[in-house]
């Protein structure tokens, strides 16, 4: 079964701009998948549609066999999203950010507390549980968003540019958390414009550009092709 099966997905924003032009994309269960592309390529639009934040214009989206149109709640329950941008009440303590999200999913309080502790510990934030969000570094905020996204134990974790603007050391430590979650069975899709991030983490990638999939390949094949200079130039022009 595919974790994500998207067919002929299009998005025309109000005002007439076409951000997605018939995207086909399948991601296998258990995969660690990167959607790579330059700014404005349509990555966040794609992620937004899959996570029910943005309406689609046409096409089919199915997540673990659940169709987005017929079973939107079923799809939502399978997905944990770490959005590209987040604006929260910055005075909220770390633990409450996670517990509030659990409340949104109707998770019983005792279960929510146990999970919040487990994920905050895994993400090295348990000692900060009473710290207000505004006191966290950029890297800590991103980790908090991951803990928040995991609280309903989604089978698919989607991260939209999770390490944009985060320095390389913090980026690497986040990579190791993500590898661990993937090894434990969570399918992961991330968008990035760092080729090295995809290289370090992912098994399969797609390159999106101008609302269309320009490449769909395994990382091994991509890296092989990177040895040919023309492809490097070609890719650098796009990513
Ligand atoms: P990416 O995440 O790859 O940078 P986005 O999906 O955010 O790309 O945006 C793709 C294109 O759609 C961009 O040209 C952007 O300006 C446009 N776009 C994004 N959101 C909207 C919106 N709400 N209304 C109109 N155009 C939008
Ligand atoms: Mg984006």
Q: How far is the CA of 194 from the centre of ligand 1 (A)?
A: 19
| Global pTM value | 0.92
* pLDDT higher than threshold 90 for residue 224: no
State pLDDT tens for residues 196-223. Answer: 888 889 999 999 999 999 888 888 887 7
For the Cβ of 53 lying below 6 angstroms from any atom of ligand 1, the answer is no
Four-way CATH pick for 2-238: 3.40.50.10470, 3.90.1170.50, 3.30.470.10, 3.40.50.300: 3.40.50.300
Ligand 1 pocket mutation pick from 16, 20, 37, 40 by most atoms within 8 angstroms of CB: 40
Work out the mean pLDDT of the chain and round it to a whole number.
Answer: 91
pLDDT computed for residue 236 by the predictor:
56
Residue 17 three-state SS: coil
Three state DSSP letters for 186-218: CEEEEEECCHHHHHHHCCEEEEEECCEEEEEEE
Nearest atom (ligand 1) to Cα of 54: 23
pLDDT at residue 57 is higher than 60: yes
- Does position 74 have pLDDT exceeding 60, yes or no? yes
Tell whether ligand 1 has an atom less than 6 A from the beta carbon of residue 11. Answer: no
**What digits encode the pLDDT tens for the residues 96-148?**
999 999 999 999 999 999 999 999 999 999 999 999 999 998 889 999 999 99
Q: Say yes or no: CB of residue 43 within 6 Å of ligand 1.
A: yes
Does ligand 1 have an atom closer than 6 angstroms to the CB of 55?
Answer: no
- Position 229 pLDDT exceeds 60: no
Dihedrals phi, psi of 62, to nearest 5 degrees: -135, 135
Exposed / middle / buried, residue 47 (Cβ in 10 Å: 0-12, 13-18, 19+): buried
Helices (H), 51-167: 72-78, 94-104, 109-122, 138-150
Q: Give me ligand 1 centre to Cα 25, in Å.
A: 19
3-state secondary structure 94-128: HHHHHHHHHHHCCCCHHHHHHHHHHHHHHCCCHHH
Confidence of residue 227 (pLDDT cuts 50, 70, 90): low
Q: Which atom of ligand 1 is nearest to the CA of 45?
A: 6
Structure tokens at 206: 């797609």
Tell whether ligand 1 has an atom less than 6 A from the beta carbon of residue 37: yes
Domain spans in the chain, listed from the N-terminal domain onward: 2-238
Q: Which atom of ligand 1 is nearest to the CA of 160?
A: 2
């Amino acid at each position: 079964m595919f974790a994500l099966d998207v067919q002929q997905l299009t998005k025309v924003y109000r005002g007439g701009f076409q951000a997605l032009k018939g995207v086909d994309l399948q991601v296998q269960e258990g995969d660690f998948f990167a959607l790579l592309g330059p700014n404005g390529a349509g990555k966040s639009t794609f992620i937004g549609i899959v996570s029910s934040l943005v309406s689609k214009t046409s096409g089919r989206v199915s997540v673990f066999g659940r169709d987005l149109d017929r079973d939107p709640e079923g799809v939502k329950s399978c997905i944990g999203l770490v959005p590209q941008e987040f604006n929260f009440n910055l005075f909220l303590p770390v633990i409450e950010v996670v517990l509030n999200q659990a409340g949104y999913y109707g998770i019983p309080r005792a279960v929510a507390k146990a999970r919040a502790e487990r994920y905050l510990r895994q993400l090295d934030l348990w000692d900060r549980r009473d710290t207000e969000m505004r006191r966290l570094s950029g890297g800590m905020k991103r980790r908090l968003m991951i803990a928040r996204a995991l609280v309903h134990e989604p089978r698919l974790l989607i991260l939209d540019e999770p390490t944009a603007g985060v320095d390389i050391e913090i980026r690497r430590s986040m990579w190791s958390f993500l590898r661990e979650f993937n090894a434990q069975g969570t399918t992961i899709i991330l968008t990035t414009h760092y080729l090295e991030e995809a290289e370090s983490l992912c098994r399969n990638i797609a390159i999106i550009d101008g609302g269309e999939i320009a490449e769909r390949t395994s990382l091994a094949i991509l890296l092989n092709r990177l040895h040919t200079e023309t492809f490097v130039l070609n890719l650098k022009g796009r990513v």
